[in-house]
Chain A
Amino acid sequence: MSTAEFSGFIFLSSLAAGLLGSLTGLGGGVVIVPVLTLLFHVDIRYAIGASLVSVIATSSGAAAAYVREGYSNVRIGMFLEIATTLGAVLGAWLTTRVPTSAIGFIFALVLLYSAFASWRKKESHTGNIRPNKLAGLLRMRGSFPVADGKEDYVAQRIPAGFGLMFSAGTLSGLLGIGSGAVKVLAMDQAMGLPFKVSTTTSNFMIGVTAAASAGIYLSRGYIAPELAMPVMLGVLAGSLIGAKVLVHARVNTLRLVFALVIVALGVEMLFNSVAGRL
């Protein structure tokens, strides 16, 4: 395979990963890493370096669109970014010390959990308006647009959410992914925020979290420019196309198919890491 062909194949795979990632809401990173390692036999450290870069591109690129919709909550996001960035620094530090087979193993588990979380039926639970002392102190409340006006919400169980966000950041730094699934878990399940607010705020936070480990990745030589180039451009293009498609298409069947693809990748990755081939 020539260099041009190789870059072309990586670009097309990244395009597909970005599309898949945005349609399932998982993000492109969690899909492109197994594709690079399993299909193209790229060392997992180069793979997560390229993935992390594409994660920043997707998050920052979509920021304007999400803000316009009026769902994301900048204060809640910023406060929780303290937890995710600290976690990301720990994760990036761990990456340089943990054997690659262990990284592969953890990655596979996160992949399988993410597939489960995206496939699970989403009960569109609305905002919690129970007063909460800490939320009052930190002004972690807001309102979001609904069909008939606006609906208010107040954050609950903030320490639990903060702790989960630290874990989400650690996974992001360790695996080079946005770990949107864990971030949504923290806001939607632990803090009782409306689902739409959780997903958009999570997307907002992903770029800042990833930037916190990018410096460490770059200085360790994980970010290979010739590999990151087609990955970043492909995932970015794929996720932008995905966001456009998402508005029009009926995505439930697609989502099921994609969840199955991700499960297959996860199982393959689990097997390979246990066999010591990663």
Chain B
Amino acid sequence: MRLTDEKLDIAIGRTLQTGVLLAALIVLVGGVMYLLHASGARPDYSHFRGVAEHLRTPSGIWHGVTRGDAGSVIQLGLLVLIATPVVRVILAGIGFLMERDRLYFWVSAIVLAVLCYSLWHIR
């Protein structure tokens, strides 16, 4: 049982690392696009208005990406990043199920439910 635990943990760790690298790459591409087109004075963040509506939902972000909007590309990378811990919980839950550890399968399910509640806000 210990052995499968360890193997599973390492697989999860690798998946997370790949997800972060992918996210960082997308953010970097978006960043380069942004800086190439940026001109004039620095943007002002001292007054909070909240970012544009299309940068707040996955469908809006995806629409922006297809238009070649740099901010949307960065935001897509951040969505990938936010997904990495969610994937971690799902993989751990599957692992517990494979080990027939029902208690911790349900523990993972509860954590996943809370995460889904939060992500439901950006539908």
Contacts and interface: CB of A to CB of B under 8 A. Distances in A.
B111 A46 contact: no
Given A4-B35, A60-B19, A213-B118, A74 B85 contact: no
Interface stretch (A214-222, A241-249, A255-263, A267-275): A214-222
A215 B122 contact: yes
A35 interface: no
Given A57-B24, A57-B81, A212-B118, A63 B88 contact: yes
Contact of A225 (B9, B30, B103, B114): B30
Interface string A167-186: 00000000000000000000
Secondary structure of the B contact surface, majority rule: helix
Interface in B68-123: 70-72, 74-75, 78, 81-82, 84-86, 88-89, 92, 103-104, 107-108, 110-111, 114-115, 117-122
Secondary structure of the A contact surface, majority rule: helix
A86 to B, nearest CB: 6
Contacts of B42: 1-3, 5-6
Interface of A: 1-7, 40-43, 45-46, 53, 56-57, 59-61, 63-68, 70, 72, 74-75, 78-79, 81-82, 85-86, 88-89, 92, 100, 138-139, 207-208, 210-216, 218-230, 232-233, 236
